[in-house]
């Protein structure tokens, strides 16, 4: 890790650099690593258990399920998505524009989270939702998880709803994970700029490669004897194998939007061009999202997301099955019978190429 101390200035002397401002090691994304297979006693993918049982430190609630979360984007974090994902024991983080009356009674509270921002009307909406729906999970989601005012909101939520399991973020460093944990957050979202429709890194220069973000943080948490601080790897997933890499790096949960976009359970405009059906998918800091939900892009900010159209992919049920199948295969390759063993048993090598791409785009 590196010291982020600032320059010291003197009115009478030239500027002096008193701390190294550049990390000496190169940080990695999922595309820069591969998992090395190990001797395995497992004979079949059926021999592995993808569900984890977790007791959350602050809410004291016990939960069992597959530690994958659908991102709380308004195109993916939908009630329709939650209905399918709960069958697989996967959590859907509903987007923050749902009202209490929009959330039906048939959703299993173990497998969805309600989302809020920090605006006054967000907090009012949370009161209504908690009164009617009584969800188990609350996801506090803001663009800049380093804004100090978020701790006041976290403290208010923890004090008002002590039995709620609280998710908050996003951050990319272990110091902030520890602060969130100390303020009562059960699961901290990690990742800035790595989403498939996020342009934060291009617009602001801010970010941290996703694999190293998770790996570095988990190593530091273990050193500092705070392993109970749970983290979500949020973003950077391009392929099913990236879920396994994130778990191997030390993530307790993995959140993804892009691979779950474009399905019939997603909201967003449907477009037909040349007899091909597409679904629109966009980042929540894109101009599309801000115009839709707030009327315009405020003149003091810039859009940090993009809008794309994806070929309609049918029901998300098959995509979920494919992803879970890939994770099961990973566990058999490294001899892990349970999800909680993956971080201990996964070892990595740095690579300059992950896959042979000669026939990409020629599939039939």
Paired with 198 in beta bridges are: 305
Task: Give the integer Cα–Cα distance in Å for 233 and 171.
Answer: 10
Is 330 within 8 Å of 342 (Cβ atoms)? yes
Can 200 be counted among the known catalytic residues? yes
Q: Is the dihedral of CA 51, 191, 228, 164 positive or negative?
A: negative
Residue 204's SS3 state is: helix
Task: Give the integer Cα–Cα distance in Å for 267 and 316.
Answer: 13
Q: Is the dihedral of CA 294, 296, 300, 305 positive or negative?
A: positive
**DSSP one-letter string for 218-239:** HHHHHHTT-TT-EEEEES---S
Nearest to 247 by CA among 210, 278, 276, 220: 210
Residue 115 phi, psi (nearest 5): -115, 145
Is 167 within 8 Å of 160 (Cβ atoms)? no
Candidate list 139, 198, 213, 266, residue with the active-site label:
198
Cα-Cα end-to-end distance for the chain = 46
Task: Give the integer Cα–Cα distance in Å for 35 and 58.
Answer: 33
Can 92 be counted among the known catalytic residues? no
Candidate list 200, 217, 319, 330, residue with the active-site label:
200
Catalytic machinery residues:
198, 200
């Amino acid at each position: 890790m590196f010291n982020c101390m600032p320059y010291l200035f003197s009115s009478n002397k030239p500027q002096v650099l008193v701390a190294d401002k550049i990390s000496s090691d190169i940080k990695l994304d999922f595309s820069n690593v591969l998992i090395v297979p190990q001797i395995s006693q497992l004979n079949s993918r059926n021999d592995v258990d993808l569900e984890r049982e977790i007791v959350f430190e602050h809410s004291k609630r016990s939960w069992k399920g597959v530690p994958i979360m659908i991102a709380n984007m308004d195109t993916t974090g939908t009630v329709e998505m939650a209905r399918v994902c709960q069958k697989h024991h996967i959590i859907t983080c509903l987007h923050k524009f749902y009202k209490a009356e929009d959330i039906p009674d048939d959703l299993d509270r173990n497998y969805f989270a309600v989302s809020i921002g920090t605006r006054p009307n967000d907090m009012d909406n949370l009161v209504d939702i908690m009164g009617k729906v009584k969800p188990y999970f609350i996801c506090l989601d803001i663009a800049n998880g380093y804004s100090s005012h978020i701790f006041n909101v976290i403290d208010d939520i923890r004090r008002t709803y002590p039995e709620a399991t609280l998710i908050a973020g996003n951050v990319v460093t272990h110091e902030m994970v520890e602060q969130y944990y100390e303020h009562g957050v059960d699961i901290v979202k990690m990742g800035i700029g790595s989403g498939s429709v996020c342009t934060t890194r291009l617009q602001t220069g801010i970010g941290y490669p996703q694999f190293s973000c998770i790996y570095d943080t988990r190593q530091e948490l273990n050193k500092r004897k705070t392993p109970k601080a749970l983290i979500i790897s949020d973003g950077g997933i391009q392929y099913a194998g990236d879920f396994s890499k994130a778990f191997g790096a030390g993530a307790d949960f993995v959140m993804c939007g892009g691979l779950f976009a474009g399905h019939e359970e997603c909201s967003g405009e449907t477009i037909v061009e040349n007899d091909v059906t597409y679904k629109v998918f966009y980042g929540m800091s894109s101009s599309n999202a801000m115009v839709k939900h707030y009327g315009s892009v405020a003149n003091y900010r810039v859009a940090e997301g993009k809008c794309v159209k994806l070929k309609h992919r049918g029901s998300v049920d098959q995509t979920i099955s494919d992803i879970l199948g890939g994770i099961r295969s990973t566990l058999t390759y490294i001899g892990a019978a349970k999800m909680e063993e993956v971080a201990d048993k996964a070892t990595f090598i740095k690579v300059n190429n992950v896959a042979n791409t000669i026939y990409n785009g020629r599939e039939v």
